[in-house]
Amino acid sequence: MYVAPADAALIGGQGAVVKTAGATLASVIVREPASMDMTLGEPPKQAARQRQRDPATRMAEVAMLRQAFIKAQEYERNHAANPALPRDLGMEALGKLLRRELPARIQATSAIDIRSALGLAREFNLALVLDGAASAQLFKDSLVARNVPVILGQVSHPFVSNEEIPDRSDYPPVDEGTATALIKAGVKTAIASFSRAFGTLAPAGSSKWLLVDAAIAAGYGLAEADVIRAVTLTPAEILGVSDRIGSLTAGKDADVIVLDGPPLSVKTWVQRVYVGGELVFQK
């Protein structure tokens, strides 16, 4: 699982990759930090309106992110010239982005927000990961050319990531064929479950829907091998942990689920779960 701050802020903070079972905290953590989470679009605006502060518009969102990155660049230059200056942990974290030590994981749903994310990544040379990305297939050629991976939200529900899809022309309706279009175009694409996938007032979008969303992609023309990869090895690659997890390969962690039928059948149930070779769940 990837665990990170939610999307009520432009810059939520750093996230970590963790396992769902382990004897100690150290054994649960796979990679920390794994990326820096940011959000463009409605959620930061809605949260800002409640607090009566910026960003009130999409223009303000982009301007504030640019301001933060430029400030981090200045911090890096000043500290290189004078290491005795006081430390700023927030600026140091953003410095990891500027040095491409961490990817910028930006939640962007509409075409406007994806275009802004691509522009910011180009301007500051960020290693970009698009999160949610309902409109991503409009940019598939650019995503392939710039090697930008995509983590798709749940198409089995009328929400993508934590953002409701409003009835506006710049927000296309949820397209069940998006994963197929992206993967066939050569975009590294993961299918994921998301917290609050039913909207901000509802419970989390349980991971039990993950294989249902994968099956939907198969129903819209994606080969089964590509579907399984989109919920296993590809997410591990995007998260930077494919050396340990994501496939049944000698030398990797023995994190395995045992099913009682075909993975993409709604009749299939998980029978057993092994984490690090240890049985942690049995039906």
Choose among 143, 254, 117, 270: nearest CA to 206: 270
pLDDT beyond 90 at 273: yes
For the residues 86-98, what does the mean pLDDT come to? 95
Query: Is there a single domain that holds both residue 267 and residue 194?
Result: no
User: Using one digit for the tens of pLDDT, what is the confidence trace for 146-174?
Assistant: 999 999 988 776 554 445 555 555 555 66
119-153 residue pLDDT tens: 999 999 999 999 988 889 999 999 999 999 999 98
In which band, very low, low, confident or very high, does the pLDDT at 82 lie, cut at 50, 70 and 90?
very high
The verdict on 258 and 200 lying in the same domain is no
**Residue 199's pLDDT is what?**
46
Q: What residue has token string 């400030």?
A: 71
Collapsing DSSP to helix, strand or coil, 150 comes out as strand
Whether residue 98 is found in the same domain as residue 209? yes
Question: Is 108's pLDDT higher than 80?
Answer: yes
Higher pLDDT, 109 or 234: 234
What's the CATH code of the domain at 75?
3.20.20.140
Task: Give me the DSSP letters along 230-254.
Answer: HTTHHHHHHHT-TTTSSS--TTS--
pLDDT digits (tens, 9 = 90+) for 21-73: 998 989 999 999 999 999 998 878 777 777 777 788 899 999 999 999 999 99
| 207: pLDDT strictly greater than 80 | no
The sheet carrying 189-191 orders its strands as: 2-3, 11-18, 29-39, 104-108, 128-132, 150-152, 189-191
Tell me: the pLDDT tens digits for 210-236?
Answer: 888 899 999 999 999 999 999 999 999
40 and 81, same domain (yes or no): yes
Residue 233 sits in the same domain as residue 244: yes
Which pLDDT score, from 0 to 100, does residue 172 have? 57
Query: Sign of torsion, CA 169 177 269 132?
Result: negative
Residues 226 and 282 in one domain: no
Mean pLDDT of 199-215: 70
Residue-by-residue DSSP string for 173-186:
PP-TTHHHHHHHHT
Average pLDDT, the chain: 88
Q: What domain range is 226 assigned to?
A: 2-251
**Cα–Cα distance for residue pair 96/90, rounded to 1 Å:** 10
pLDDT surpassing 50 at residue 193: yes
What pLDDT, on a 0 to 100 scale, did the predictor assign at position 165? 54
In a shared domain, residues 214 and 269 = no
Q: Residue 198: its pLDDT value, please?
A: 43
Number of domains in the chain: 2
Element holding 32 (H helix, E strand):
strand 29-39
